[in-house]
Structure 1
Amino acid sequence: MTSSRTWPARTAGVVLSALVGAGLAGSPSAAAAVTVVNCPSAACTQVAGGLGEPVGSAYDADGHGYITYQNGDLREVDLATGATSTVARGLGNLRGIDLDGEGGAYVGDFDGNLLKVDLGTGSRELLASGLGPLHGIVHSAGTTYATGGSGKLYELAPGGGVRVVASGLGLSQGIALDGKGLAYTADMFTGRVLETDLTTGAVRSVAKEFYEPTSISVAADGLVYFSVGDQVTRLDPATGRGTHIATVRGLNSVIFRLDGDGNAYAAQVTGGGSLWKIKGLTRLP
C-alpha cells in the first residue's frame, strides 16, 4: 500500500491522465474547486488514539466502531468518548470486517478463513476456509460476501456453503453493495473499479486507470466513493463519470469507510494508531 506522502510524487502523471480521461480534471480552475479537508480541523477530528496498527474497521448505527488487527485482536471503539475495549483475541491474521446489526461481526483473515464473532461474548464460529486473503467483507440480509487477494468474489448464504460469484477481480481491499444486487470492488493491480452482478456473476469496469484505488463504498445516494492516495472520488456507476470531491491532508493514508450518515472513518497506523472522522464526506459538492 502506498501512503499519501509518497503517492503524489511517484504517480502524479499517471493520475492526472486518469483524471482527465474520466472528466475529473482538465483545467486549473476545476482543480482549485476541490474541497481540501485538513486533519485535524472542524471537518476532520480524531476520535480515538493509542490504537496500535489497525487493519480493518466497521461501524454500527449505535456509535461504535470495531477494528481488526493482524495479531488476531478485535477491538471496540466508543465513537463518542474514544474509549476502547477488546472483544476477542486469537482470531488469526485479520483483515476485513463487517457487522450484521444483530450483535455479530464477520471477519476474514490473510489465511483465507471467514469467521463470525459474537460481539457480546467474543465467541467465534468458523464459517469457511481456504478462500485466500480476505481483505473485503460485507454482510447483508443474512448473506456474507468476501473478496481479497485471490481475485474472487465469494458468497456465503445463510444455509452455509460457499459460491464463487466471479473471478479475475484482482486485489481489492474492500467490497460494497448497492442494495440492488450489485457489488463494487477496486482492483489495486490495474486501477479498475469493478461492478459485479451478484446473481449472474457478470463483471464490468465502471472506471479504470486509477493508481491503487481503495476504500470502496456505496452511499445512500447510490454513488460509489473511493480514494486514490489523498484524493477522494465520487463515481456515478451508471454513467462512469467521476468527480474528485476532496483532497484530505494530514493523514498518512486515506483508507476510509462510510457510516450510514455519510461520514467517513479513517484508521491510521502512525503516531501510535488513531481513528479519524471526516464529517459529511458524501455531502461535499
Structure 2
Amino acid sequence: MHRFVYKSLLTCLLLGSSQSLAAPPPPVYRQEVVVAGSPFQGVHGMAVDGKGHLLASNLLGQSVHSIDLSTGAVSTLVGPPLGGADDVTLGPDGSIYWTGFFSGRLMKRTPDGKTRAIAKDLPGLNSLAFRHDGRLYITQLGRGADRLLEADPSGRKPPRQILSGHGFLNGFEFGPDDKLYGPLLMKGQIARIDVDTGSLEIVAQGFTMPVAVNFDSSRENLYVVDSARGELVRVRVATGDKEVVAKLPTGLDNLAIGPNDQVYVSNMVDNDIHVVNPADGSIRPVVEARLSVPSGLAVAPDDADEQLYVADVYAFRRVGGRDGKISQTTRALSTRMTFPMNVSLGAKHVVLSSAYLASVQVLDRATGDILRTIPNTNGVQGALELPDGTLLVAEATTGRLVKVDAAEPAGITVLAEGLKGPVGLVTDTEAAEPGVYVTEVRSGQVTRVRLSDGARRTVAKGLKAPEGIARHPDGGLIVAEVGRKQLVRIDPATGRSTTLASGLRIGLPESEGLPPGYIPTGVAVGRSGTIYLSSDIESALYRFVPAP
C-alpha cells in the first residue's frame, strides 16, 4: 500500500513536472523606435538669462529647462514633480520663478539651488513678470479663475488682487512706462494696465488668439504671438499699428527677446522652439520634435498598415506604425478640438477624451469633423463607443464607469462605481455576456465590468499602476504596468501575468490637479501582433515586434 501511494505520488510529480516543462515560454519581442523622443512634453514660457541660455517651462513634463543658444543642447534645471511650469522668469536677485498651472503653486529656485513654493492654492496660475522696481505680478487663467495679482517674491505675504474678469490676461511684460502690457486672450486685444490704479486701456486689437507679448530693445515695438493664426506680429505701441513679421505653424504659446532682438518663439503643439530674425522674417529651429505629449493610442484591427491614432494632448495625429510617418494632424487651439489624452476607434467614429479640458469628443473617422463635445469634469480617462453608439467613459476622479446616451442631449447612466482610478478601457463585446476590461491605477487591478448590469469580476491584481490596455489578436490583454515600467500580457481567463518588456521609459509622477493616471501611457496592438507603446517621459513612440 505504501509502495502504491509512493508510486502514484511520484507519477503525479513527474506528470506535473513534464507539464511544467512543456508550458510555452513567454513570447520574445524586439523593441524598435517608431518616433524618436524630445526633451519636452509641450514647451511653454521662456526667458533669456543673459548668459547665453534660454529658460523654458515644461508644464506636463513638470520640468524647467535651460537651452544653450549656441548649440541647442537642453538640460534640466528642475525636474518632476516640482518643475511643472506654465511660465518662467528671472528675478532681480538671479532666482528663477515659475507658475504651476495645475498645482496652483508659485515656485522659486534661488541661485544656490534651493527650491520652494512662495504661494499656493492658486488654480490656473499662468503668467508672471517683474516690474522694474522688483515687484512681481502673476495671473490666474482658467480653472475657474481670471485674475491679475501682485505676489511677494519672498513668499512672506499672500498675493493681492489687482484686477479680475478682464478676459484672460496671458503672457505679459512691463513697458518703459512701468505699465503692464499683455494679451487679453478671450478678446483678441492687447491691453495696457496701470497696476497701481487698476486702469486698463486697449493698445491694439484684431487678433484671433493673442497669447504673449514682449518688447524689443527699442522699447517702442511690442511683439505679439497669435496662437490660432501662427503669426508673430510687431505692434507699434504709440499708434497700435500692426505688421506680421513671420508666419509659423499654429499652436504658438510664448516668446522671448534675445540678443540682437532675435525673437524666440515656442510652439506647444509641435513641441519646439524657433528663432525669428525680425529684420527679414527668417526662421530657424532651436529645438525640434515630432510629437508633443503622446499618450492614448489606437489602431484599427483590420488595418494591414497598422496606422496609429495618437492622442498627443496638444494635437491628434495619425502615425504610420511601420514607418513612423505623420500623415495627418489636427491641432488644438486653432480648431475646436480639446487637448486629447485618450483615443479609441469605432466603426465610423473616433472618440477622444481629455481630463486636461474636461471633455469627451466624437469625431467622424473619415473626415475628422467633430460631431459632439460632451463636457465632463470628473477626470475623464478612457472613453469608447459601443456598437449601439452609446459612449462608455471612465471617470478617474469619481471612480465611476458611466454610459452616455447616443442621442442629444446626452443622458448619463452610472454603470459601475467604486473603481480605484479607472484609466484604460477595452471592450469584450463578442462574449456571451459582453463586458469591458478596466485598468485601475490605484488598486493595481484589471477588472471586467458586465455591460448589462455593471457586475464586476477581478481579472488580475497585484499590478502596480496599470494604465493603457489593449486586446491582442490571440485574446490576451496587453497592459502598460507603469509603476514597474513594464509591458505585461494578462490571460483574461486565469489572470496570469507575463512580462513582455521591462525597464521602459514610462511613468511621469502624478501631478497635483490632474486625475489618477495623469498622462496615460497608451497601448495598441496591430493585426500582426506588434505592440505599440507611448512614452510620456520621452515623448516617443515604440513598437514591440514579435520574434519569428
Q: TM-score range by the shorter chain?
A: 0.7 to 0.9
* Secondary structure, counterpart of 2:343 in structure 1: strand
1:82 aligns with 2:347: no
Higher relative contact order (CA 8 A, sep 6+): 1
SS across alignment from 1:196: strand
Q: After superposition, where does 1:31-110 map in structure 2 within 5 Å?
A: 37=29, 43-49=30-36, 50-60=290-300, 61=303, 62-71=305-314, 73-84=315-326, 85-90=328-333, 91-102=337-348, 104-110=349-355
What are the ranges of 5 or more consecutive residues in structure 1 without an aligned counterpart? 1-28, 38-42
* Structure 1 partner of 2:423: 173
1:144, 1:262 → 2: CA distance? 27
Moved more, 84-93 or 176-185: 84-93
Contact 2:298 2:309 in 1 (8 A): yes
Structure 1 equivalent of residue 400 of structure 2: 152
Could you list the runs of 5+ residues in structure 2 that have no partner in the other structure? 1-20, 37-289, 508-520
Q: Distance in 2 between matches of 1:212 and 1:267?
A: 15
Report how far residue 233 of structure 1 moved. 3.0
The one-letter code of the counterpart of 1:108 is S
Q: Evaluate the alpha carbon distance shift between residue 199 and residue 257 of structure 1 in structure 2; reply closer, same or farther with a 3 A threshold.
A: same
**8 A contact 2:352–2:362 mirrored in 1:** yes
Choose from 470, 488, 504 the match for 1:233: 488
Aligned CA distance change for structure 1 residues 158 and 206 (closer, same or farther; 3 Å): same
What amino acid is aligned across from residue 136 of structure 1 in structure 2?
Answer: G
Corresponding residue for residue 376 of structure 2: 130
Shift of 1:259: 2.7
Code of the aligned partner of 1:81: D
What is the TM-score with the length of structure 1 in the denominator?
A: 0.73
Cα distance, 1:126 vs. partner? Answer: 2.7
Deviation, structure 1 residue 216: 2.1
* Letter of the structure 2 residue corresponding to residue 178 of structure 1: D
Q: TM-score, normalised by structure 2?
A: 0.40
Residue by residue, what CA displacement relative to the aligned partner does 1:4-59 show, whole Å, maximum 9, x if unpaired? Answer: xxxxxxxxxxxxxxxxxxxxxxxxx9xxx65675xxxxx22212232122121212
In the TM superposition, what is the alpha-carbon distance from 1:278 to its structure 2 partner?
0.9
**Among the aligned pairs, what percent are the same residue?**
21
TM-superposed CA distance for 1:94, in Å, is 2.2
1:207 match: 460
- Hey, what's the Cα distance between the residues in 2 that align with 1:105 and 1:196? 22
State the superposition RMSD in angstroms.
2.8
Q: Give, in angstroms, the shift of residue 167 of structure 1.
A: 0.8
2:486 and 2:457 map into 1 onto residues whose CA distance is 23
What is the identity, as a one-letter code, of the residue corresponding to 2:295? V
Displacement of 1:191 in angstroms is 1.1
The answer to whether residue 528 in structure 2 is matched with residue 274 in structure 1 is no
Q: Does the Cα contact within 8 Å between 1:34 and 1:247 map onto a contact in 2?
A: no
CA change 1:139–1:260 in 2 (3 A) is: farther
- Does the 8 Å contact 2:27/2:546 carry over to 1? no
- Quick check: 1:171–1:188 contact (8 Å CA) kept in 2? yes
Identify the match of residue 413 of structure 2 among 158, 163, 169. Answer: 163
Contact 2:488 2:501 (8 Å CA) reproduced: no
How far off its partner does 1:265 sit? 0.6
Of structures 1 and 2, the larger Rg is shown by 2
Among 226, 240, 248, which residue is 2:502 paired with? 248
Cα shift at 1:119: 4.5
The whole-number CA distance in structure 2 between the counterparts of 1:109 and 1:243 is 29
Structure 1 pair 120–207 and aligned structure 2 pair: CA distance change class (3 A): closer
Residues 54 and 268, structure 1, Cα contact 8 Å, conserved in 2: yes
8 A Cα contact 2:427 2:437, kept in partner = yes
Q: What is the deviation of 1:275?
A: 1.4
Alignment of 1:217-232 (within 5 A): 217-228=470-481, 229-232=484-487
Q: Distance in 2 between matches of 1:134 and 1:236?
A: 27
Could you tell me how far apart the structure 1 residues matched to 2:536 and 2:451 are?
A: 33
Cα distance 1:192–1:81, how it changes in 2: closer, same or farther (>3 A)? closer
1:173 positional shift: 2.4
The alignment covers a number of residue pairs equal to 242
1:166, CA displacement in angstroms?
Answer: 0.7
For the pair 1:194 / 2:447, whether they are aligned, the reply is yes
Opposite residue 143 of structure 1, the aligned amino acid is: T
